[in-house]
Structure 1
Amino acid sequence: MAGLFSSDAKVLVIGANHRSSSLALRDRLFLDEPEVIPFLDKLKDDGVEQCLVVSTCDRVEVHCVDHNPARAHELIVARLAERAELDSHTIASQLYVHEGEEAVRHIFRVAASLDSLMVGEPQVVAQVKDAHRLAVEAGSVGAELERIFQAAYGTAKRVRTETAVGERPVSIASVGVQIAKELHGDLSRCRGLLIGAGDMGELTAQNLIEAGLSDFTCIHSFAGRAQRIARHLSCHFDDFDNRNRLACEADIIVTSMNKRTRVVSADMVAKALQVRKNKPIFLIDTGIPGDVDPAVNDVDGAFLYDLHDLERVAMEGRASREAEARAASAILDKDLHDFFRGKEERTAVPLVSSLRDRFETERQAVLALHANDADKATRLLINRLLHTPSEELRALAAVKKKKEWEAASDLVERLFLKKD
């Protein structure tokens, strides 16, 4: 394909996610909602033409459309490095870069939750729409970027409604609520604690709150993330350093740090149970890898379920999940093909419009001369419309350039002589 847009603008995605980077870097890059528009304003002032930033616990990435992708790349990396308080070379190895069709594919996959830590997380498209809304408010979204995201939302909707790929995380969260009720009974009398800000942890916390657990607190080693989750869930947030005290007060602990170190130890849980006079604690570990030391399973009064435990209750088996993921990918591939084809077809619109205007001008001129004589009017119109093409075809035939003549002849036959 010649290009995504007739203007030769290029699509670019630059970012860091759970696969490419450390949690420490993503914490440094993370933008809370009030910080997004100022960040976009800086990119606009730098000269980036169209831009949008998606900032979640699992990814921070900039989507842009620009006529000079190399320059835009340099400017975006520089601003991300500034945000992280690191130099560009230090963060470059943890960033991924997609350009052109691959960038559009990535945007579609993110919106459809096919690029998530847990595929099918239902809140991802809402996060993308929030990012889109802020970029529109900042005035940094143009027609090209808008078309991409509207098409991506359509694909995300198809994936949700035509496949069961989104049922897995919802089912897992529902099982967590079910077990919590079996252990503690009325959840309105319970306290909850969310350690971390991963999407699966947030989804589980949201389900617990909707089931009646109203006293809920969020903590994170990066305070901004805890505050964002607390706003979204309409609950409390606290300092990460207070986690031992908060664990003593919590009947249900949900973890979602997704780090490579355990944030909840067996000793921490044992001490909490001692303070609670052995009133049980239900722990839901949604971290990948796990956030809770498996030795917690040996602590009396602690009931630990990780994603695998919950999934055994919620799902039939791995094969069904993979089949749904393949079905979702097939939908995405077809929609991407249609999207790219539509972009290419739009390059013909100005020419078709000019042709239509020219024909209408000739029609009006002929009607002015022979409005009451249809035979004369139509003959004159045909002669006028065919005059220039006929002259050009005769001239092309005369110079005896076989390839050019064959191409022109083939085009005329396809445009005007092909039978339905």
Structure 2
Amino acid sequence: MSRAAATPRLTVIGANHRSASLSLRDQLFVDDAAAADFLVDLKRRGLHEALVLSTCDRVEVWASHIDADSVQDQVAAALAARVGVVAAALSGQLYRHDGADAVRHCFAVTASLDSLIIGEPHVLGQVKVAHRLARDSATCGPELEAVLQAAFTAAKRIRTETVIGEGPVSIAAAAVQMARDLHGDLSRCTVLLVGAADMGELVAESLLAAGVARLLVTAPRASRAEAVAASLNGNVMGFETLREALADADVVVCSVGTRTITLTAEMMSAALKKRRRKPIFVVDAGIPGDVEPAVNRVDGAFLYDLGDLERVALEGRAGREQAARAAWGILEDEVGGFLKGRAARVAVPAIVSLRQHCEAMREAVLAEHPASPEDATRLLLNRLLHAPSEAMKSVAAEGPEWQTMEKTLRKLFHLDE
């Protein structure tokens, strides 16, 4: 195998909001407590340099390996084992990126340009947690580390040079303001977070920061609810108790995104009846929406989706799209610089060999003519140029390759300057 063929390359295997259902992503979800065992399993399967990124939007393995097909097979087998199916059952629901495409994907994910909500601020932190867990498990080798550090730099530059991250934060701030307008002092309010998607978690975090004292969390999959509740210091409710929990909530944040209605007008009407018409502020943060639009016609229910809150926050679509274009421009610049730098490393072994070869010749010539620098340097030049000169004559005599060699030679030694 050639040196180039043996060079490790980045490969990404995963399932996200575009390729797989929420139900499958929930089954594949790898929480922080399970990450170490999952990485050990990957290592057993021959993937010694890998991390697992598991969020509400995606479950991915980023791995550096010389054989991308092997990465795909082993990651699919490891993920299938979590679901309790054969790897073939995941066919069509997993995607794969290799080489430069994988680098670009990792940069985009880290900068939150591949999220359901562009600019969502949790993603960078989630990648950093995945990085830390991989380091703790000794699966973050030099190739993966280089990609991650470059991705963090790109994400920071995008956050600094564009307003891409302001939109989601403004939406959450708008939700807090609307909740205050309706309920006044939030310290007496209970928030119910339904689902575990990042935007819902961001809104819940903002409400807690604004003084909300009690947070209830529920989700179709209990482990997801438990993970979010642990990070936000909330209490977990069984998803089957959603109807009962609604009656306790002053603010409901829905963030499930199952493409089916989670909260209906009938459920809201029943909850308000139990509350004696004490109003409920509902934030539909699901993509697609989780709340039946008819909820807004229920007396005492005040429903705002992300578009409504964005308008309150005075963040227009045109501004978002302009920031996204600028962010992608920065990302492509960073990806290009990274790939160029990594590609240049391929030449390093040959450069080292060339320098060692020339140094050995220099030492031999000095040993033969220690007292005559002029004779030594003349002999050194003759020896250095003899083999390349003979090779060039041979190539020129054979024909078509000479033009390429001559162009390379002139570029290497600046012969035209």
Q: Answer whether TM exceeds 0.5 for this pair.
A: yes
For residues 153 and 364 of structure 2, the distance between their equivalents in structure 1, rounded to whole angstroms, comes to: 45
TM-score normalized with structure 1 length: 0.92
Task: Give the equivalent residue in structure 1 for 2:35.
Answer: 36
1:411 to 401, 408, 411: 408
Task: Give the equivalent residue in structure 2 for 1:178.
Answer: 177
Distance verdict in 2 for CA 1:387–1:93, change over 3 Å: closer
Structure 1 residue ranges (4+ consecutive) displaced by more than 6 angstroms after TM superposition: 3-6, 369-372
Question: Which residues of 2 match residues 179-258 of structure 1 at below 5 A?
Answer: 179-258=178-257
Cα offset, 1:378, TM superposition: 3.9
User: Considering only aligned residues, what root-mean-square deviation do their CA atoms show, in Å?
Assistant: 2.3
For residues 227 and 272 of structure 2, the distance between their equivalents in structure 1, rounded to whole angstroms, comes to: 29
Cα offset, 1:229, TM superposition: 0.9
Task: Give the equivalent residue in structure 2 for 1:24.
Answer: 23
| Residue type of the alignment partner of 1:192 | V
- Does the residue aligned with 2:7 lie in a helix, a strand or coil? coil
Cα offset, 1:110, TM superposition: 0.9
For residues 369 and 185 of structure 2, the distance between their equivalents in structure 1, rounded to whole angstroms, comes to: 87
Runs of 5+ consecutive residues of structure 2 not aligned to the other structure: none
Task: Give the equivalent residue in structure 2 for 1:402.
Answer: 399
- Does the residue aligned with 2:290 lie in a helix, a strand or coil? coil
Over residues 85-134 of structure 1, what are the superposed CA-to-partner deviations in whole Å (9 max), with x where a residue is unaligned? 22323321222222232222221111111111111101101111111211
CA contact (8 A) 2:190 2:214 kept: yes
Task: Give the equivalent residue in structure 1 for 2:117.
Answer: 118
For residues 199 and 277 of structure 1, the distance between their equivalents in structure 2, rounded to whole angstroms, comes to: 32
CA contact (8 A) 1:4 1:101 kept: no
Task: Give the equivalent residue in structure 1 for 2:46.
Answer: 47
CA contact (8 A) 1:4 1:344 kept: no
Cα offset, 1:373, TM superposition: 5.8
For residues 37 and 196 of structure 2, the distance between their equivalents in structure 1, rounded to whole angstroms, comes to: 23
Between 168-177 and 64-73, report the one with greater CA deviation.
64-73
Q: Percent identity?
A: 49
Between 387-396 and 247-256, report the one with greater CA deviation.
387-396
| Residue type of the alignment partner of 2:412 | L
- Does the residue aligned with 2:6 lie in a helix, a strand or coil? coil
Distance verdict in 2 for CA 1:301–1:367, change over 3 Å: same
Task: Give the equivalent residue in structure 2 for 1:147.
Answer: 146
CA contact (8 A) 1:6 1:347 kept: no
Cα offset, 1:347, TM superposition: 0.4
Between 292-301 and 81-90, report the one with greater CA deviation.
81-90
For residues 171 and 317 of structure 2, the distance between their equivalents in structure 1, rounded to whole angstroms, comes to: 14
Cα offset, 1:196, TM superposition: 0.5
Confirm or deny that 1:305 pairs with 2:304.
Answer: yes
| Residue type of the alignment partner of 1:410 | K
| Residue type of the alignment partner of 2:220 | S
Between 19-28 and 7-16, report the one with greater CA deviation.
7-16
CA contact (8 A) 2:167 2:315 kept: no
| Residue type of the alignment partner of 1:409 | E
For residues 185 and 248 of structure 2, the distance between their equivalents in structure 1, rounded to whole angstroms, comes to: 17
Over residues 206-246 of structure 1, what are the superposed CA-to-partner deviations in whole Å (9 max), with x where a residue is unaligned? 11111111211211111111111122222222222222232
Cα offset, 1:375, TM superposition: 4.2
For residues 90 and 417 of structure 1, the distance between their equivalents in structure 2, rounded to whole angstroms, comes to: 58
CA contact (8 A) 1:5 1:344 kept: no
| Residue type of the alignment partner of 1:171 | S
Between 256-265 and 350-359, report the one with greater CA deviation.
350-359
- Does the residue aligned with 1:347 lie in a helix, a strand or coil? helix
Task: Give the equivalent residue in structure 2 for 1:274.
Answer: 273
Distance verdict in 2 for CA 1:276–1:82, change over 3 Å: same
Question: Which residues of 2 match residues 96-115 of structure 1 at below 5 A?
Answer: 96-115=95-114
Over residues 306-349 of structure 1, what are the superposed CA-to-partner deviations in whole Å (9 max), with x where a residue is unaligned? 11110111234222211111111111222222222222211001
For residues 411 and 138 of structure 2, the distance between their equivalents in structure 1, rounded to whole angstroms, comes to: 44
Distance verdict in 2 for CA 1:234–1:41, change over 3 Å: same
For residues 405 and 80 of structure 2, the distance between their equivalents in structure 1, rounded to whole angstroms, comes to: 53
- Does the residue aligned with 1:415 lie in a helix, a strand or coil? helix
Task: Give the equivalent residue in structure 1 for 2:128.
Answer: 129
Confirm or deny that 1:163 pairs with 2:162.
Answer: yes
Distance verdict in 2 for CA 1:188–1:419, change over 3 Å: farther
| Residue type of the alignment partner of 1:224 | S
For residues 133 and 299 of structure 2, the distance between their equivalents in structure 1, rounded to whole angstroms, comes to: 48
CA contact (8 A) 2:5 2:66 kept: no
CA contact (8 A) 2:410 2:416 kept: no
Task: Give the equivalent residue in structure 1 for 2:292.
Answer: 293
Cα offset, 1:26, TM superposition: 0.9
TM-score normalized with structure 2 length: 0.93
CA contact (8 A) 2:395 2:401 kept: yes
Cα offset, 1:6, TM superposition: 6.6
Cα offset, 1:374, TM superposition: 5.0
For residues 264 and 203 of structure 1, the distance between their equivalents in structure 2, rounded to whole angstroms, comes to: 20
- Does the residue aligned with 2:268 lie in a helix, a strand or coil? helix
| Residue type of the alignment partner of 1:54 | L
Cα offset, 1:403, TM superposition: 2.5
Cα offset, 1:62, TM superposition: 1.5
Cα offset, 1:17, TM superposition: 1.0
Over residues 233-288 of structure 1, what are the superposed CA-to-partner deviations in whole Å (9 max), with x where a residue is unaligned? 22222222222232212111111001122211222222222222222211111001
Confirm or deny that 1:58 pairs with 2:57.
Answer: yes
| Residue type of the alignment partner of 2:400 | K
| Residue type of the alignment partner of 1:347 | V
CA contact (8 A) 1:4 1:340 kept: no
- Does the residue aligned with 2:97 lie in a helix, a strand or coil? strand
CA contact (8 A) 1:4 1:343 kept: no
CA contact (8 A) 1:4 1:100 kept: no
| Residue type of the alignment partner of 2:408 | L
| Residue type of the alignment partner of 2:228 | I
